[in-house]
Amino acid sequence: MLKIAVLTGAGVSAESGLKTFRDSNGLWEGHDVMEVASPQGFHKNPALVLDFYNQRRKQLLEVLPNAAHHALADLEKDHEVTIITQNVDDLHERAGSSNVIHLHGELLKVRSTFDESLILDWKQDLNIGDFCEHNHQLRPHIVWFGEAVPLMEVAMDIVARAEVLIIVGTSMQVYPAAGLIQYASYNTSVYFVDPNPSIRSSERVTVFAEKATTGVPKVVAALNS
């Protein structure tokens, strides 16, 4: 039984039908990322931002986990696995992973703009005028650009203790998440799965330069062999 930390990004969900961020020139479903994913964007045009996340929420409810999500969930049968995802979708959970840390929040949750610890499950549209119990507007439970990443310390600790670190489908461009690899111990084996990998193979890093649905099962097979 190995202690395994898995860091995933948008690429792990790409083959489920959810677009990545940087594969489309910084445009996310046709929007400037800063307009729809920053506190300033929300202040400037809250209706646009809420509508954007309403569309994303609807889309999420129409897609399914893919072979990569399932292979990562299956790893739990033989190992102690924690998934640290930058994704706001729930595809790891739907595939059966039981320890999932969402560094950048969750699309199927909203929170109060008055008290950020007041978090609610939310599957329907979120509109202007949807208030928390203190009569303040609810907002998506998403870590926007410029906001703190509250679960970062937990994630650093998990990576530091891991014997194996698997990284899947991330451009490693967004900090602090991209810096997590620095917390891995010198003797941790690192596997990186991405068709356009930002890390090269080395003595401790094995790169599978391919899509998640083919690459992740190969990593799992290597760990179980």
Please provide the distance, in angstroms rounded to a whole number, between the alpha carbons at the two ends of the chain.
Answer: 12
Q: What angle do CA 56, 21, 109 make, to 5 degrees?
A: 35
Beta bridge partners of 138: 112
Q: Is 105 in the site for ligand APR (CB under 6 A)?
A: no
Q: Is 86 in the site for ligand APR (CB under 6 A)?
A: yes
Q: Is 11 in the site for ligand APR (CB under 6 A)?
A: yes
Cβ contact 215:168 at 8 Å: yes
Q: Which stretch binds ligand APR (CB under 6 A): 75-83, 91-99, 146-154, 167-175?
A: 167-175
Q: What are phi and psi of 18, to 5 degrees?
A: -100, 130
Q: Is 10 in the site for ligand APR (CB under 6 A)?
A: yes
Q: Is 23 in the site for ligand APR (CB under 6 A)?
A: yes
Q: Which stretch binds ligand APR (CB under 6 A): 117-125, 132-140, 156-164, 166-174?
A: 166-174
Rounded to an integer, what distance in angstroms lies between the CA atom of residue 99 and that of residue 119? 19
> Can you read off the two tokens belonging to residue 21?
């961020």
Q: Is 22 in the site for ligand APR (CB under 6 A)?
A: yes
Q: Which stretch binds ligand APR (CB under 6 A): 5-13, 55-63, 73-81, 116-124?
A: 5-13
Has 31 been annotated as catalytic? no
Q: Is 199 in the site for ligand APR (CB under 6 A)?
A: no
Whether the bond between 39 and the residue before it is cis, its omega within 30 degrees of 0, is no
Residues with a known catalytic role: 104
